[in-house]
Structure 1
Amino acid sequence: MAKQELNWLEDAKSVAAKIRLRGFDYVMQNNGGYLSQICSSAEIFAYLYCKGMNLGPSIAPMVPDPFDCVPSQGKPYYSGSDYNGEKLPHLDRFIFSPAHYALVLYVALIEAKRMAPEGLNDFNKDGSTVELISAEHSPGAEITSGSLAQALSVAGGIAIGRRIKQETGNTWVMMSDGEFQEGQTWEAVQTLAHYKLDSIKVIVDVNGQQCDGPIESVMSLRSLQNKLNAFGAHAEEVDGHDMEAFDRLANMDTQGKPLFILAITDPTRGVSLLNTKRPTLHYLRFSSENEKFSFQQAYDKMLKEPQ
């Protein structure tokens, strides 16, 4: 492996470990949270911000501004996408779809030096842009995507507009696997394939979990890879914690097809104690002080491990 390749990979591995640690720390301090999403998607966000996306420097305040008012005449539109840099023709855009993963996104911005750690102080507080479920004004988010499956359609429209304007940057989308239970997702895939939007690159966190339990027990998805390819996309399954595999696919020529990297992830990665909460991993709530103490011990152990 070339030295340059090794550097980005080692940096990204360090960022992924720090995402888990900082996210776990926040969950412990606040008596619960979306811990399984942090465990499953840390490498996805680390790859995107360390290697995958070609972004300019952040043009947003290191500590996010409070939510002042809704956009209106004489009131500027505040976009969380400013944390991803200017929207220039040659640079990439990032469309964040599963809005309940917001904590992971904020932590990734912190570890990528695009947001200050103090920005988390207002997480999930009234009047804050650092919302529990992200909106278009939340750090790192360009659109409101709290209704899952809408973001891919928006990304397709952005990609078509960029093609018309002859822009060369890619449009990246981060999704969760539960969104493929929605009909709008498949309409969007069909549209991306029809217009041959190979500037669309999607990474899907396939962690097999959703609010009501395991995806297979709620509405089976069967083979996402086969379905997406049948719809005209280029989809491949990879180990969701293997960032080299992400990079290999991200740089391939898909010959006019939108790319879907199906990252098969472990929602308990790094926090094996989470297995005791199966089958409901969606949101961690401590059932007792003893259980919280056990998770605190798991966090303390992670803290002592080399990052």
Structure 2
Amino acid sequence: MRNEKTTEDIALGIRRRVFEHSMRNNGGYLSQACSAGEQLAWLYNEALNLGQPTLPMIPKPFEGVPSPNNPDYHTGAGYNGPAGPEYDRLFIAPAHYALVAYATLIEVGRMAPEGLEMFNQDGSSVEMIGAEHSPGMEVHNGTLGIGLSTAAGLAFGRKRRGDTGNTWVFMSDGEVQEGQTWEAVQACAFHNIEVKAIMDVNDQQCDGAMDSVMEVGDLRTKFTNFGAHCVEVDGHDLNAIRQASQENHEGKPLIILARTNPFHAMSILEERFPRLHYVRFKSEDERARMNQSIAKDLGVDPIDYAH
């Protein structure tokens, strides 16, 4: 399933949708749209081999947790299509990127725009922090750092079963502060699991700048030493991402470090750096200033958020 839009257009559309949502709701995950727009657009529009969605374009309400007495339970993976052996699978490891992931699904025609209006509403499956029943999600990755392990486990099982589809994971750099990430890389290298990962390296996390919380050093060298094939690129350069994804990594996990700017295309957010994890406007004046500035950067009219 390929979209008629260019990947560049989809990345811009993602940012515009997250911007509009954030203005109307007095805050949102703006910086994640700035840094990850190209990566998620590229995954869905170019990299992933996915079938047609199997769930309704307008998401169903939350139907409860899995149990023998709940036949209506479903995960959100159906928005990525069926889980056939020939299809790729994607895990969104940082669950707080959910708003950006939902905007991506809309931009590539896998979810209706009305779905975003259900974001963080009582009884909705369109969770603020993506859960296994949320659109595009297959498992709950709310415990930061488990995404690569989850993807690796699935990829190992698929390899043993003879599946031909790839297993991808989208990550954030805060996950390198978790030991489980490094255990997963070592396990992949030892068991020759060729899982593929692209990491949004925007140098910030929920508590501020990465280095103010814990210095992580030379990530490319570390990943290489732990057994991965690691490539470092400009995360806003689609050609660089495309080339990195084609590198030979036989018998090893592929880790693409996508170096990004958390206020790319929304320059006024630099005022808030490094406190950009969730941008809630401090005053009506700031909200109005950001509305005007970001709208200009994105080439759209300011949002009428009074209605």
TM-score, normalization by structure 1: 0.94
Do residues 253 (structure 1) and 248 (structure 2) align? Answer: yes
Letter in structure 2 aligned against 1:190: Q
State the AA in 1 paired with 2:208: G
Alignment of 1:154 with 2:150, yes or no, is: yes
Counterpart among 105, 108, 113 of residue 109 in structure 1: 105
The one of 152, 169, 175 aligned to 1:173: 169
What's the CA shift string for 1:2-26, capped at 9, x where partnerless?
xxxxx98970000000000111110
Give the letter for the 2:75 counterpart: S
Query: Is this contact kept in 2: 1:9–1:244, CA < 8 A?
Result: no
d(CA) in 1 for partners of 2:3, 2:22: 28
One-letter code of the match for 2:206? Answer: C
- Give the letter aligned to residue 91 of structure 2: I
State the number of aligned residues: 299
Three-state SS of the structure 1 residue aligned to 2:280 is coil
Q: CA deviation at 1:75?
A: 1.4
Query: How many Å separate the matches in 1 of 2:243 and 2:163?
Result: 23
In structure 2, what is the equivalent of residue 3 of structure 1? none
Secondary structure of 2:232 counterpart? strand
Q: Structure 1 residue 224 and structure 2 residue 219: aligned?
A: yes
1:59 maps to 54
Matches of 1:130 and 1:9 in 2, distance apart? 26
1:136 paired residue number: 132
Superposition pairs of residues 80-99 of structure 1, within 5 angstroms: 80-99=76-95
The alignment's C-alpha RMSD in Å is 1.6
Deviation for aligned residue 1:69: 1.7
**Do residues 163 (structure 1) and 144 (structure 2) align?**
no
**Could you tell me whether the CA contact under 8 Å between 2:62 and 2:123 is conserved in 1?**
yes
For residues 240 and 9 of structure 1, the distance between their equivalents in structure 2, rounded to whole angstroms, comes to: 23
Q: CA deviation at 1:145?
A: 0.3
SS at match of 2:62: coil
* From 291, 304, 307, the counterpart of 2:299: 304
Q: Which residue matches 1:240?
A: 235
Distance 1:246 1:230 in 2: 22
User: Is residue 284 from structure 1 mapped to residue 243 from structure 2 by the alignment?
Assistant: no
Distance 1:8 1:127 in 2: 31
* CA offset digits 1:100-130 (Å, max 9, x no partner): 0000000000001000000111100111100
For the residues of structure 2 that align with 1:192 and 1:213, how far apart are their CA atoms? 30
Distance 1:132 1:145, change over 3 A: same
Counterpart CA distance in 2 for 1:269 and 1:242 is 12
Three-state SS of the structure 2 residue aligned to 1:61 is coil
- Out of 24, 31, 39, the residue aligned to residue 29 of structure 1 is 24
Q: Which amino acid aligns with 1:242?
A: D
Shift of 1:305: 5.5
Where 1:174 maps in the other structure, the secondary structure is: strand
Runs of 4+ in 1 over 2 A off after TM superposition: 7-10, 302-306
Secondary structure of 2:279's counterpart equals coil
For the 8 Å contact 2:83–2:89, the answer to whether it is kept is yes
Residue 17 of structure 1 aligns with an amino acid whose one-letter code is L
Greater mean deviation of Cα atoms: 161-170 or 7-16: 7-16
Kept in 1: contact 2:3–2:109 (CA 8 A): no
1:145 and 1:113 mapped to 2: Cα distance? 24
Per-residue deviation, 1:299: 3.4
* Gap regions ≥5 residues in structure 1: 1-6
State the shift of 1:285 in Å: 1.6
Give the structure 2 partner of residue 127 of structure 1: 123
One-letter code of the match for 1:174? F
1:25–1:299: 8 Å Cα contact kept in structure 2? no
Output the TM-score relative to the length of structure 2.
0.94
Sequence identity (%): 51
Deviation at 1:151, TM superposition (A): 1.4
CA distance in 1 between partners of 2:187 and 2:299 (Å): 48
Contact 1:21 1:302 in 2 (8 A): no
C-alpha separation in 1, matches of 2:151 and 2:171: 11
For the 8 Å contact 1:268–1:274, the answer to whether it is kept is yes
Structure 1 residues 238-285: Cα deviation after superposition (integer angstroms, max 9, x where no partner): 000111111112122212111000000000010000001122111102
Say whether the 8 Å CA contact 2:265–2:298 is kept in structure 1: no
